[in-house]
Every structure is written in structure tokens, then in C-alpha cells.
Amino acid sequence: MDSKEYIASGILELYVAGALSEKENEEVYAMMQQYPEVKQEVLSIEAAVVNLTAATANKDTSSKFDTIKQRLGLSNTASDADETPVIPLQPKKSIFRYAGWAAAIVFATGLLYTAVLYNDLESEIEVVRAEREDLKKQIYEANSDLTAANDLLDALRIKDIITVPLGGQQVSPESYAKVYWDKKSNSIYLDLQGLPEPPPGKVYQVWSLKLNPLTPTSLGVIEDFAGDKDKVFDLQNANESEAFGITLEPAGGSESPTLEQLYTLGVVASNP
């Protein structure tokens, strides 16, 4: 895929949203390293989203950084460095005084240490939780992919399923497709791996055909060909089909098939 198509796909907007999987994030990162225009696009999208989200802030919180600094015990930045000089007190030489201070310091150090430890643990929990959410998402996605694949396999293994290979026709001789027809449930599965992606504004339409006389019945159009990963589609077919054909039609489909745009055709074997 070239960088233009990549940008136009909308993946970069999802990247900034944090809506992609870890693997996809790494892909986008690699594309950004390779193509400066991809990186520039990400920066622009990010700028837009930063602006949009910032516009929802109904309160100015810029001064709250001081609180954060205090809570983290960070040393002050330049602006605060020149504060009132500390005037040394005249030391009173009392052993109890020192002992008191020492105890206080020990106590304070202990407190501080506990606080830091607590803070650390809390952040750790937050980060681990975010990672766990990510993993859950990945497992969920993998599981639903697997379920879909298993369902498909089960469907294709039905005993009485009829397999109809469709061969490429004049407009596209190298095309092919396969129809799996389960007569009992009146459903068909179409494997369209062997068809080219339809040009913009066009869709594939599937037809059930009676041969004598030639009578086509539309079984439906394939709406999201490009977006479907495995290119397997299911449709209903309650017809006594004798053949199946696939034509290229304007988006939305046609009343009757455009025969000049017949991509694949196959006859149902009379004795399956």
C-alpha cells in the first residue's frame, strides 16, 4: 500500500485515538519512520485532537503543576530558585534538641519512603491494568476471529453441501469463485477470493439461474467486498438453481444482470 492510500484509509486517526491493537500501532510507527508525509499527517491529526479535547476544559488547570511537583517532591525549577535566603539560627547547644530533630528526621524519612512506595505501587497498578485491558482486547479479537473460522469450517463440512465452482468469463478470464450450497437450510456460502476488488461505485451481484429458459434471480449484492478479510460471504438461496453467476453492477445492484460484466459462472452438477 502506498503512503497516500495508507493516509486515506483513516488508520492514522484511530492511531491517535489509541483504538488500534499493539501490532497495528507498531505498523503505523514503522510507516511514520519510512514516510515523512505519514508522520506529518499523524502530527496534524494529533494537533487537531489535542485542540478538540483541550476545548472541553472549562477550567484553567495550568497552575496545578505546583501541586504535582509538591506531591512528587521535585526540586523547584529556575523561577523558584531565588527565594528568601535562609537565615541560620543560632544553635543552642542542647543534646535533647538534636535528639528531637534526629527522631523527627528518621520519622519523616520513614513516612516519605512509605508515601513514595505507595505512590509507586499505585501507578504500577494503573499501568498493569491498562496493559491487561490491551491483552483482553487482543484475546477477544482473536477469539471472535477463531469462532468465525470454525463456524465457516462447520458449514462447509455439512454432508449434503453442494459445491459449484464458478469459472472466469470473457471480461475477466482469470477470475474464479466457489459456491457452497446447503439446500437444507437454503443458504449458500460464496468464496470470492478469486475476484478482483470492484472499482469504486461498483459492486458484485450474485445471481441464481434457471437455464431453460434462462431466468436470473438476484441473490443479493456483496456490499463490503474490500472490508471483508476472508472474502467469504453468506446469502440465502431458496431457488431451484441450475447455475450461479456473478456480475459487476453499479452500487446498490441491478434488476437484471449486466451480461457484458459477467465475471464468473458455474453450472450446478445435476448429480452432486
Burial class of residue 187, CB neighbours in 10 A (0-12, 13-18, 19+): middle
Q: Given candidates 2, 61, 92, 95, which one binds other proteins under the rule CB under 8 A? A: 61
Spell out, one character per residue from 74 to 113, where the chain touches other proteins: x when CB under 8 A holds, - when not. xx-xx-----------------------------------
Nearer to other proteins (CB atom), residue 26 or residue 260: 26
- Residue 147 as a binder of other proteins (CB under 8 A): the answer is no
Q: Given candidates 1, 49, 104, 142, which one binds other proteins under the rule CB under 8 A? A: 49
Q: Given candidates 65, 98, 101, 107, which one binds other proteins under the rule CB under 8 A? A: 65
Q: Given candidates 34, 109, 114, 123, which one binds other proteins under the rule CB under 8 A? A: 123
Residue 39 to residue 235: CA distance in whole angstroms: 42
- Residue 29 as a binder of other proteins (CB under 8 A): the answer is yes
Considering only residues 160-219, where is the footprint of other proteins by CB under 8 A? Answer: none
Nearer to other proteins (CB atom), residue 99 or residue 121: 121
Closest-CA residue to 180 (of 239, 232, 257, 248) = 232
- Residue 38 as a binder of other proteins (CB under 8 A): the answer is no
Nearer to other proteins (CB atom), residue 119 or residue 170: 119
- For the bound state, the minimum distance from the C-beta of residue 68 to other proteins, rounded and expressed in Å, comes to 5
- For the bound state, the minimum distance from the C-beta of residue 60 to other proteins, rounded and expressed in Å, comes to 6
- Residue 69 as a binder of other proteins (CB under 8 A): the answer is yes
Q: Using CB under 8 A, list all residues that contact other proteins.
A: 8-11, 13-22, 25-26, 29, 42, 44-62, 64-65, 67-69, 71-72, 74-75, 77-78, 119-120, 122-124, 126-127, 129-130, 133, 137, 140-141, 224, 226-227
